Structure 1
Amino acid sequence: MTQKLGLLSLRQRLIVSALLCVIMPSLITYMVSTYVTKDTLEQRAVKQSQDILRLLELNISNYFEDLLYVSNYIQFDDKMNGILKESRLYNKENGLSPAKVNAIQHINITKNLEGITNLFTPSYITILMQNDFSYTNYPTYEFDPINFYNEEWFRKIKSLDSYETFWLGTHPTYIQSQKQKNPYLISIASALKLSGKTYAYTIISITEKEISNLFKQFGSNNEQKLMLINSDGMILSNQNEEEIMKKFDYIEFIGTNQESYTIIEILNKDYLLVSRPLSYADWKLVSLVPYKKTVGKINTIAQTTIVLQTILLSLFLFILIYLMNRLTKPIATLSNVTKEVEKGNIHIRSGIGGNGDIELLGASFDQMLDKIEFMIKQIKIEENGKRKAELEMLQAQVNPHFLFNILNSIRLRITMNGDKESAKIIQSLSTLLRMTITRNNEFVSLHEEISVVEHYVKLMIFRQQQHIKVNQKIASNVLMVDVPRFFLQPIIENSIIHGFSQRGGEITISASFVGDYLVIRVIDNGKGMSKERLKQLRNHFITAKKGENTDKVASLTGIGISNVYQRLKLIYGEEFHMDIASEESVGSETSFYIPRNKGV
């Protein structure tokens, strides 16, 4: 395939590439949307149903909380408990008929419940008391509450603890006048006990339509079925009234105590089943919606997007091919120029002019060739200069050694003639010269460094004709310690030139281990300096930049005091420190504190 593309012209390859760039993304997008995004579309559908169930749970919970509030109020309100417990005191000896006693109780309970019945949802409240007393907020000709004692479920209420609530669920309404309009009620019941003995029962109900109306309100479409079922799979509420109190046949596909979803088949049609548990009575909300209708709706949107994308990309393809026909000519010219350059002809130019991108590219290409040609000439010049520099470097390496050998020969000739003083001066100069030209090793022993200082002082005495004495107080265990080369010479030079000022003097060099440091001190008895000058000098050598020779008088090695400080700071790090002390007419002292754990 690659070989076949190589036989095509540039224009043909660009057209083929454009077709591939347009068609391949469309095909890949379609395949991904069909196969890979299937789970994503399903998850979206599930999330949509879960969101509906969450909203339903919030609204249904409000109704159930109202039921529980009324039940708890009757059970735990002190005044209400007092009224209910009074029913035990009425008997035939009171002289009141049961009807009058019941009427009094009804009035008292009605007044006490008046504040909450106007605020909360419950439609029907029944309180069964001892001695056949009862309270209802509905006419007893609609239903005699004594009949509750005959209900099969009533036996379960008798066995309840004081704080338990029995969720009766959905059952046919007991209000005769509401059987057509509201055929079902949802009820809870509880037993009121004192010292383990029951003194009253409460049955509180709402109409089932309160819940089914929510299902109709939140249903996303007419085909979505929303229902409330209990743990046995009985449908407690549904948009379709005919389904209420029937068995839900797919209860086994519903999770126990958490949100769940699955795909089930009903009458050869796939449905998306999503469930969510309620916080009350082990009941669950269930959503049942046709799978293809839910997922297919989202999938159709994705496919429509792909079709539009394909149409637009095809249009862009035609525009691209048209532009390629105009662009390929200068590109071909550039290609020919590139081939010529590859053969070694760097004098050729494309000559493409204009303000377009390709034209600007051609101009840039020509400029690049101009720069390459210029750089080749520069490289030739630099190579010639480099060869000359290497030759000069070789000569520079030969000349110092030649000079060093000549000095030794002169020293021997002078010694043989009996001028020993001049021979010693030449020997010091020769030794110092050897140390300056031999820089293969940055470190020397302290003994060698002090020897360099001694030779340097001899030369300075000869040069300036002044008496300078050097005292050494060097501990024997530090003589062979490696120290940086030429770090003492600038300090000695500074003492002779600035401290003694053409007069003689005495310099003392001491070195010893003090704790974790090698401490080296250079003390002179020169003229010293004022406090202001001392402060200025300290700030100067600490803040001087690396490599910046700011000393007014250059030393033998080209290294000033500040450079000595910066050099030792780089070698030994922050643990190294240097101090200068001075007093006018007394002298100066320079101290080096070199850490032992850094190569010492």
Structure 2
Amino acid sequence: MKENLLIKIKIKLYRYLRKTHIQNRLIVLFLILSLFPMLITGIYSYQKSSQAIHDKINTYSVEVVNQVAKNIEEELTRMEYQTIEIAFSELVQNTLSNYEKLSEWEVYDARYRMRADMVRKFSFSEYISDVQLFTDQGDKIIAYGDTGFTLTFKDDFRENLLAEIRDKNGAPVWEAVDFSDELHQVSRVYPENTPEKSYGIIIGRTIKELYDGSELGSIVIRINEDLFSDVYRNIDLGQRTEIFIVNSEGTVVSTRNNNISFNEKYPEPELIQKIRANSDAENESFELTIGEERNLTAYAPIKDADWYIVSTIPFSYLTRETGQIARDIMGVSLIIFLLAVFLSYIFTKSISDPLNNLVEAMNQVEEGNLEVKIDDQAQDELAEASSNFNQMVEELKGLLEDVKEKEKQKSNLEFKALQAQINPHFLSNILNTARLLADMQNADNLENFLSSVINLLHLSMNNKEDLITVEKEVEYLKSYLNIQQFRLHNKFDVKFEIEADLMSYKIPRFLLQPVVENSIIHGISGKSGQGLIEIKGFTQNNQVIFTITDDGIGMSEAEIEDLLNKKRENKDQFSGIGINNVKERIELYFGKEYGIEIESLKGYFTTVKIILPEIN
């Protein structure tokens, strides 16, 4: 009973609101909401505010590390391309392939030219410090680097690095390297308070022979670690937050903070364990205790190097402002919010429902449904708009019907007018040819010639059928070709290859003749010697395909464009129907997906392809 009473009250309120203007509704709503007093009743849930901040920072940190990972992947990819470019260069290939045969002078010359190439490539890069090549026998070629302080790895590091490169069989190898992995001519190159200056990343890969894939040696490029740490150095996720990169073994390979040891295991072994566990679960963040403090940890894989970009945010930073937020949020705000939601729902419902109905009706009209109608008996502006919309749809439907009918009539009249026309000059030529034949050949060929003329005249004057069978069209086409053979003294041969099943299909009248006529006038007639026209017909993918190919003088792209898009009149044509007219008629009958395609090579051939639907 109470539910029914509430429903009746809601309906009456709804109907009353629909009798007032939208502006008045909004004013009343504003006054109702603004007159409620704001009373402080307590602190809003500390847990909810804390969770909101936690989720926001978590989402932001995940987005940040993902973006950093993408940026670093781009740098890795760029460096991998550099190794491939160097490895496949002609100079490197030739030097390593013939290294055992080269004299000392030739080796020196090769090194000199390599250094010149590398200087041009890397002299403007502050991150590339050394490029070295190793032969398959372990001989080192210094292709780029400081000649005063030559990069030399310790034996065990070098042997392990080259062994790993060989095991990868052409895939890139990424390794962190620092001062302890290198041999130096002086005891200390870098000041003790700047150890990060000696941090480096090694990329190495096998160099293979370009053609047979045999191993020629290895390439090693030393990159300053700053190339990667500079990507995230200035990113600020909050107080005491850290960003660094570890490999799949938990070794730090990039860091912006000297408190995190480079090229050593991260102090918390649980980090890499949780990364592996969460990778399987597709989680991008987790909690990690570092020292005695809980941290929100986000990570993103750097796939090309099997690395992870990691950010750590202390929970003390996350919860620092929630106390103030709790004091500012009052319980009464929740009451005001719920009341505002209820009233807003009632008021906006009276506006949104008619608008939604109007939008839905508009969408249906957009999809082509002109039978849609909005039933709105209210007395506000939206009801008036709905009424106007109904009237507009009715008028639009009438206009479209008028346009369709007029276009149909216009197209029928234009085509029938074209069908009824025979070019007087063409007919004069035919009759002159008939007179000459009768005079010169004692009328032996006159019967065949005149039969072809009569067939064409019958087709031209018969306007009852818009569609005829392929068999009938081919019969008329042969009559036309017979006449042209007489006129042009057997200037060309014709070859028909039309599938037998296709003969019963229907196509528009005068479809093939204008195309063949174009081949004769614009292709064969301009050619010296005998010509050939091939006419093929077949079905393919539920379509009827005709191709007319001549070995005449061909056309340029501009001529093809002109032929397809401009109406032409030629006094030597059988009728006023040209290729442009054929194209337009096909699109008118069957739609834009059907029509004509032309392929031609100037001086060699022209092929016209006609695409039609199957009408059996």
TM-score range, shorter chain: 0.3 to 0.5
Question: Which entry has the higher C-alpha Rg, 1 or 2?
Answer: 1
Question: Looking at both structures, which has the greater relative contact order when contacts are Cα pairs under 8 Å and sequence separation is at least 6?
Answer: 2
TM-score, with normalisation over the residues of structure 2? Answer: 0.41
